[in-house]
Structures are given as structure tokens and as C-alpha cells.
Structure 1
Amino acid sequence: MFIPIPIFAALWTYEQWRWLKTLKADMAKAELTLLKSQINPHFFFNTLNNIYGLVVEKSEQAPEVVLKLSDMMRYTIYNGKEDLVPLEDEINYLKNYIGLHKIRYQKKVEIVFTHEVHEGIKVAPLLFINLLENAFKHGVEEMRENAFVRINMQSKGKQLLCTIENSFDERESNHSKGIGLENLKKRLDHLYPGRHELIVEKKEFIYKVQLNLEIL
């Protein structure tokens, strides 16, 4: 059957547009997968070394550390590949991370995690861990005293607000952007285009990051 050239051209253009749109979607999905896979693995390796030390010392804390680390690895591997996860699961993931740090620190550190969120909220997985990891790595790790990390998460209507503050020593700390923060920014651009705000403040030996998300 003969198809007029203008109609054929229109069909061809439409098919090319649809192919290009699908290709862009596939590329975005592939990039998101890559960004998720770049979550810093050093924490897991360091924790395994800590577990070895606890086992050698026959510490009663060893089983607790193994359980927390197992839960975190399971969440990272299985829940991390999901598009959305319950916010409660993200909160428990952060609690396990904090719990492991509390066990391994030999110095006094103030760690406070407060949260007041509505039930049923779902978010993209592993959004907050890089920010919390930076708070420990560039703040608490390098301070000898008066170290603290304070996390607050709350939901207001369609807004989810997460604020993380940590002390730091200006002489020691190097709060560079790093690959973790850059990856987070790219993920937010993909997952929450026009629906997120990432604010970074640094003053008076306090480093503060606030992530605001508009949840559907």
C-alpha cells in the first residue's frame, strides 16, 4: 500500500523521537544505577576490621556489630536498587550506621537523631547516607573533643526536611565536595527535578547541610 511521502516522513520523525526518548530514559536509568553503586564502600571495610578486633578481644559487642552491619549490607544491596522505599526503612538504615559509629568510637561524641515524619512516606533509597557519612568523616573523625553530629528529619505536608549539623576543626577538616556529594546532586537532579533543594552552610566551626524534598 502506497504511503504518501509527507505521512511517511511524519511517521519516521515520530519513530525517531520515540526512540530518542527511550534512549535518554535508558541512559538516565543506567546513570542512576552507576551512581548508586558508587556509595562509599570504605565504611563497610573499616567496620569489618573493627569486628575482627572485637572478636580478637572477645568483646560482647561483636555480635551486635555483626548484626547491624549485616542489616546495612542487606539494605544497600536489595533495597538500594528499588525506585522508592519507605522512609521508615531509610531511618532505620541511618540508625544502624550511627549505632556502629557509637560502638567503635573511643572518645566522647554527642550524636543525636530526631525525627518526626508522617507514616506512608516513600523516598528514593540511600539519599541521606552520604550527607551523614560526611558529617562523621570530615567532622567527628578529626576532632579530639566537643565533637557532635545532630540529625533532624521532619515532614510538613508535601515537604520532607532533613538537616545534619556537625562540629569540625577548621585546622584539620577538609569539607571538599567529594564524589559522594556530587553523586547525590546528580541523583537528586534525576529523581527530584525541580522538587529538591540542597543547602550547605559552614560557619563558626559548624558544618550544616539541609536537604529539602517535595514528596508526591
Structure 2
Amino acid sequence: MKQFFTSLYLNKYFLTFVVIFAYLESVQERFSFSKSLHWHLFTPDAAIGQLLNALLLFVIIGLVLQKFEEKLTIRHALSVFSISLVLYVAGNNVLAFVVALTFDTVERNFNATTLTTVNIKYVMDVFVYGGLFLAHYYFQKNQEDKKKISMLEKVQIESQLSQLKAQLNPHFLFNNLNVLDQLIEEDQAQASVFLHDFSDIYRYVLQSSDQQLVSLEDEIAFAKRYFRLMKQKYGEAYRLQITGDIPSEAFLPALSLQLLIENAIEHNLGTERSPVEIKLMIYSQTLLVSNTLMPKKQGKKGGGRALLNLGGQLELLAEKAILVQQNERTFEVTLPLIFKNEN
């Protein structure tokens, strides 16, 4: 319930404004009716009743907003307003009829004149208070979306820079060119495969660095190429196993899997006798990346920042969080998959 009201942006400033507005409206209506000043004009009972009606209207609009896809368009706002108007007027009439039936006042309260007057008041309430609420709601929603976009751009830029540095720095290039040079002398066929993977890695990094999301299928293919490259350097000290079927229309932030594989290699010391097992397990809604723990004596300093960046991207792109778990034997990261129909 608290989350529901929070989603409506019913903060203290807006509610204070509604209270003051309802109070002044009640004073104005009483003065218009009595045409004279007296203490009864300023009692708060009518304002409290109007405030409760306004809160009921806000709840109805909020429920309607939840049932429809939220888009900041005039057409969407008009649809929400129209449906809320019908529900509010109909709901108040039903409630009033039940009360009148209970106290045997149906004939007095449900004649043509009274119904017309009361329903005009209900419609005016929707236009006044509903209009105020929707203006406030869409303004706050727009501000929140702008803030999210700004944060996403900041996180993405930082993440892309760290990822590009990891792949394109001179040390990475120099090491792999040395491996390539050795393979050319020892095994030309293997050297050709290595060079093909090496060029594909650079091409994928450059193509995906400006994209928010890439398909899971592309990420898996890239992870395989990247790991084949690492095997040329480390041999059987690290092993990669991929299980599960790739869901259709599943996406992840670019280079997510490479980042996790690289972390497993850089933070753990594997040998051919005791290799580090890296597993990618694909499920319908998530992807689990795990590796056996064999920490290096001198671990990489500043570790964990790239993982935080990845978590920030998923939180902003799909409002989903990654799950990081560790025990004595394994380190696991569960990534929520993003699907097209969620965006």
C-alpha cells in the first residue's frame, strides 16, 4: 500500500496544497450560498469531506494508471481522465444509493433535481481535483524519467569506458599479439582461428559500445569467442561451460558476460590440475554466472566497480537487480534477463 501511494507522488507539498484549496473552496461555496459572513463559513468540516473525496479520486486514478501502460502522452492522460471520471461518478452514486437505502431517504436524495446537482458536483470535482492530480503526477513522472535517463547515461559512459579499456588497452593488445606470433610459428591453422576470434572481439566491442542492450544470443556468442582467446593464453587452467536454452527476445547490457568471465579469470588462479570452472546457466528469466573460488594471493585492486556499473545499468534499464552470492567454494552472479515487451 505504501508503495502504491509513493508511486502516485502524493508528497506532503501536494497534499498541503490540496488541503488549502479544499478549505478555500468550502469557504467560497458557503459564502456564495449565504451571502453573508459568519463563523460557520470557516469551520473545516466541509473541507475535510472534500479532502476525503479528493483522496478517493486520487486512488481511483492511480488504479487506472496501473492498469494501463504509462506513457507521457496527451492521449494517455485523456484516457485515464475519462475512465476515472466514469468510475468516480458511478462509484459515488452507488455509495450514495446504498446509504439512502439504509436510511430510507431514496426518494428525497434520488430525484431529478438532486441527482443533477450532485452529479454536476462530482464531475466538477474530477475536473478540478483530477486535473490537479494528473498535472502533478505527469510532471513528477517526467522529472523522474529525466533523472533516470541522466543517471543511465552517466553509468553507461563509465561502464563503456572501463569495458573498452579492458579490451583495447595496449597491454591486452600486446599480450594477444605475442600469442598470435607464437601460434603462427607453431600452428598456422590455430593462428588463423585465433586471429578470427581476435578481430571479431574488436568488431563486437566497437559495434555494441553505443547500444544500451544486445541480444543474449549475441552475448553468448561473444563470450565463447572471448573465452577461446583466453584459452590460448591460459590453456586448461580455466574452463567454460554453458547450459540451457536461450529464450527468444532476451537481452542484456553489452559486454555483460565478458565482464563476468574476465572477473573470474583475473581474481582466481587456476591450473591444469585444478582449473577454475566458469559456468553460464541460462534460465527462462535469469542467467547465472558462477565460478569456483581460487583467489589469487595478490588480488586485483579496485575490483567490484565494473560489477556495480553492470548492476546500475540493469536497475535503470529494467528496474531489476543483480544478485551476488559467495560461499567458500563458489562466486555467483545472477543476471535478470530483459525482454522486448518489458520496455
Task: Give the TM-score taking structure 2 as reference length.
Answer: 0.49
Which of residues 268, 278, 288 is equivalent to 1:150? 278
**CA shift in 2, pair 1:185/1:121, >3 Å:** closer
Identity of aligned residues (%): 23
| Superposed counterparts of 1:43-54, under 5 Å | 44-45=172-173, 46-54=175-183
Shift, 1:180, TM fit? 2.3
C-alpha displacement of 1:77: 0.9
Picking from 172, 176, 187, the partner of 2:313 is: 187
Contact 2:216–2:250 under 8 Å retained in 1 = yes
Shift of 1:25: 2.3
Residue in structure 1 matching 2:221, options 84, 92, 95: 92
**Cα distance change on mapping 1:21 and 1:150 into 2, 3 Å:** closer
Q: How big is each residue's C-alpha offset from its partner over 1:30-50, in whole Å with a ceiling of 9 and x where there is no partner?
A: 431231221123584232332
Give me the whole-angstrom Cα distance separating, in 2, the residues matched to 1:18 and 1:119.
31
Decide which of 200, 206, 210 is 1:77's aligned counterpart.
206
In 2: Cα distance, 1:20 partner to 1:138 partner: 38
Long gaps (5+) in structure 1:
1-9
Aligned AA for 2:195? V
Moved more, 35-44 or 171-180: 171-180
1:51-66 alignment, distance < 5 Å: 51-57=180-186, 59-66=188-195
Cα distance, 1:15–1:187 mapped onto 2, change above 3 Å: closer
Q: CA deviation at 1:74?
A: 0.9
Q: CA RMSD in A?
A: 3.2
**Contact 2:156/2:313 (CA < 8 Å) preserved in 1?**
yes
- Shift of the 137–23 alpha-carbon distance from structure 1 to 2, 3 Å rule, reads closer
Q: Deviations over 1:125-179 (max 9, x none)?
A: 2222211111112224x546311323132222xx12222222415x626376343
| CA shift for structure 1 position 51 | 1.6
Q: Which has the higher contact order (CA 8 A, sep 6+)?
A: 1
CA contact (8 A) 2:264 2:278 kept: no
Matches within 5 A, 1:25-36: 25-36=149-160
Residue 102 of structure 1: aligned partner = 231
Amino acid at match of 2:252: V
**Higher helix proportion:** 2
How many aligned positions are there?
198
- Cα 1:58/1:154, change in 2 over 3 Å: closer
Q: Partner amino acid for 1:196?
A: A
Instruction: Give the corresponding residue for 1:129.
Output: 258
Structure that is richer in strand per residue: 1
144, 162, 169: which one pairs with 1:38? Answer: 162
Checking the alignment, whether the CA contact within 8 Å between 1:147 and 1:168 is kept in structure 2 is no
Counterpart AA for 2:326: E
One-letter code of the match for 1:200?
A: Q
Larger radius of gyration: 2
